């Protein structure tokens, strides 16, 4: 048998029964196509008391069709990345029940007890464990897939296993190219056009973006999730789940950290003009800034502990080296956060945190704020000696006019 797109509920149900032992043989099952993403098909199969998720990758991008082909190897990469992440933080990812190379499909745990982080942030939900969970996920997945832990052969084998050219190309273009020129893929609010044009003329900014881009292209530091925006994070009061690592490849660790920090910053920019009481919105902005501190501080504490306890090479285990490494990584992370903020404001794919501001003038104000913060993050990334130095600067920028 060769690859076949699931074309009916019966197909999906048969596949679910074949590849999991969740359901009894005579139990009636139903199927819903629940994918709200752009790239793949996602189905929920439910029985009387339990359910599972099936994700299938076609040889092209779902919302575009055959006009934009995309390697189906992405679903193998996603399955293997989820399994690797589960080795280090099993509580933070959905469990993979089965990966099927022929049908290009993953059968996995249904995490619908958790809600999308982007929606939670738009609704100003404070999540007491978010920063800690994200910090631990990043420390574990980035450390245990780096040369600070793996020996040379294991590391090169990892790089080879996660070569992901099609999806890397999408990120290369959407993060580092389109937003810095008048590209046809960009989506720019007409009221922000002059700001975008000024940004395209900013040679200092473009030089810094080039430095970040070359690291994205050639720094094989750690296995990345590769698409760690707030739509890939699911949350509730007691837990966090991170899904959709189909962009995984071995790249600069700061790219993952920066992607999610950039999404905090995008929500901060949105909260300046989202509907609701101003004091409540400002309070939420302050909560986001505090949680960014928690995220980075949890990450750096865990990373430092891993280096001290588990790095074998004595030259890389020196305390002074860990400090240097983490300082460089903070700067990289802030730079990538800035590229995420800018590409989500004037590039192809925007975010609900800002798009849901109905009034065009107010939306423009939040977009302008996002562009200002994004540029600050990129240009000044090396000047912050701690995350608190950054969040203090952002606090000043937001609240002290
Ligand atoms: N394990 C899961 N449990 C519950 N819901 C899920 C699960 N995996 C995916 N979903 C739902 O399906 C949606 C799309 O999933 P996902 O982001 O993995 O698809 P995608 O096609 O790769 O999307 P994108 O365009 O963001 O890359 C998620 O936003 C979520 O609502
Ligand atoms: Mg995806």
The closest ligand to the CA of 108 turns out to be 1
Task: Enter the pTM of the model.
Answer: 0.98
37 Cβ inside 6 Å of ligand 1 = yes
The number of helix segments (H) and strand segments (E) in the chain equals: 15, 12
User: What stretches of 44-113 show up as alpha helix (H) in DSSP?
Assistant: 73-88
53 Cβ inside 6 Å of ligand 1 = yes
C-beta separation of 376 from 286 below 8 A: no
115 Cβ inside 6 Å of ligand 1 = no
Write down the pLDDT at residue 36. 84
- Averaged pLDDT, 368-372: 98
Write down the pLDDT at residue 86. 98
Query: Of 27, 6, 228, 181, whose CA–CA distance to 104 is shortest?
Result: 6
For every residue of 275-287, DSSP letters joined together read SS-HHHHHHHHHH
Burial classification of residue 239, based on how many CB atoms lie within 10 Å of its CB (0-12 exposed, 13-18 middle, 19 or more buried): middle
- Taking the C-alpha atoms of residue 51 and residue 43, their distance in angstroms, rounded to an integer, is 10
Distance (Å) from CA 116 to ligand 2 centroid: 14
Write down the pLDDT at residue 1. 62
C-beta separation of 115 from 236 below 8 A: yes
65: left (phi over 0), alpha (psi -120 to 50) or beta: left
Distance (Å) from CA 297 to ligand 1 centroid: 29
The superfamily (CATH) of domain 115-399 is Aminoglycoside phosphotransferase (APH), C-terminal lobe (3.90.1200.10)
Instruction: Give me the residue spans of the domains in the chain.
Output: 9-109, 115-399
C-beta separation of 152 from 236 below 8 A: no
Query: Of 192, 249, 179, whose CA–CA distance to 218 is shortest?
Result: 249
Residues 63-93: b if buried by 16+ CB within 10 A, e if exposed: eeeeeeebebbbbbbbbbbbebbeebbeebb
Residue of minimum CA distance from atom 12 in ligand 1: 35
- Taking the C-alpha atoms of residue 82 and residue 103, their distance in angstroms, rounded to an integer, is 18
- Tens digits of per-residue pLDDT, 118-176? 999 999 999 999 999 999 999 999 999 999 999 999 999 999 999 999 999 999 999 99
pLDDT grade, residue 400 (50/70/90)?
confident
Measured CA distances, 86 to 96, 157, 299 (Å): 9, 19, 17
| CATH architecture under which domain 9-109 falls | 2-Layer Sandwich (3.30)
398 Cβ inside 6 Å of ligand 1 = no
Torsion sign across C-alpha atoms 245, 247, 250, 256: negative
The rounded Cα 195 to chain-centroid distance in angstroms is 26
Strands (DSSP E) along 221-349, which ranges? Answer: 222-223, 233-235, 240-242, 250-251
- Tens digits of per-residue pLDDT, 249-280? 999 999 999 999 999 999 999 999 999 999 99
Residue of minimum CA distance from atom 19 in ligand 1: 37
Distance (Å) from CA 312 to ligand 2 centroid: 35
Distance (Å) from CA 232 to ligand 1 centroid: 7
């Amino acid at each position: 048998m060769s690859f076949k797109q699931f074309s009916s509920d019966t197909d999906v149900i048969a596949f679910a029964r074949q590849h999991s032992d969740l359901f009894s043989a005579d139990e009636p099952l139903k199927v819903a196509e629940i994918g709200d993403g752009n790239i793949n098909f996602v189905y929920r199969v439910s029985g009387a008391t339990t359910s599972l998720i099936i994700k299938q990758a076609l040889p092209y991008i779902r919302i575009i069709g055959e006009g934009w082909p995309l390697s189906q190897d992405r679903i193998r990469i996603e399955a293997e990345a989820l399994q690797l992440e589960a080795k280090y933080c099993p509580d933070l990812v959905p469990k993979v029940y089965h990966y099927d190379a022929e049908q290009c499909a993953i059968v996995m745990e249904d995490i619908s007890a958790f809600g999308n982080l982007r929606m939670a942030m738009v609704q100003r939900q404070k999540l007491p464990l978010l920063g800690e969970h994200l910090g631990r996920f990043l420390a574990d997945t980035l450390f245990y897939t780096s040369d600070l832990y793996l020996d040379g052969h294991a590391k090169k084998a990892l790089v080879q296993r996660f070569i992901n050219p099609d999806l890397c190309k999408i990120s290369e273009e959407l993060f580092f190219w389109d937003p810095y020129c008048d590209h046809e893929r960009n989506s720019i609010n007409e009221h922000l056009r002059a700001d975008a044009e000024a940004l395209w003329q900013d040679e200092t900014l473009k030089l810094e973006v080039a430095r970040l881009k070359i690291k994205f292209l050639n720094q094989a530091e750690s296995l990345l999730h590769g698409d760690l925006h707030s739509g890939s994070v699911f949350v509730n009061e007691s837990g966090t789940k991170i899904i959709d690592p189909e962009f995984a490849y071995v790249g600069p660790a700061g790219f993952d950290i920066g992607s999610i920090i950039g999404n905090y910053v995008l929500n901060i920019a949105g909260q300046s003009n989202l509907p609701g009481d101003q004091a409540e919105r400002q309070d939420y902005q302050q909560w986001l800034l505090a949680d960014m501190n928690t995220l980075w501080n949890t990450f750096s504490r865990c990373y430092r502990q891993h280096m001290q306890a588990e790095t074998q090479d004595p030259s890389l285990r020196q305390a002074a080296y860990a400090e240097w490494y983490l300082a460089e990584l903070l700067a990289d992370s802030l730079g990538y956060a800035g590229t995420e903020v800018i590409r989500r404001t004037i590039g192809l794919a925007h975010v609900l945190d800002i798009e849901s501001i109905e009034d065009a003038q107010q939306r423009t104000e939040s977009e302008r704020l996002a562009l200002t913060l994004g540029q600050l993050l990129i240009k000044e990334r090396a000047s912050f000696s701690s995350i608190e130095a950054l969040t203090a600067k952002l606090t000043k920028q937001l609240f002290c006019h």
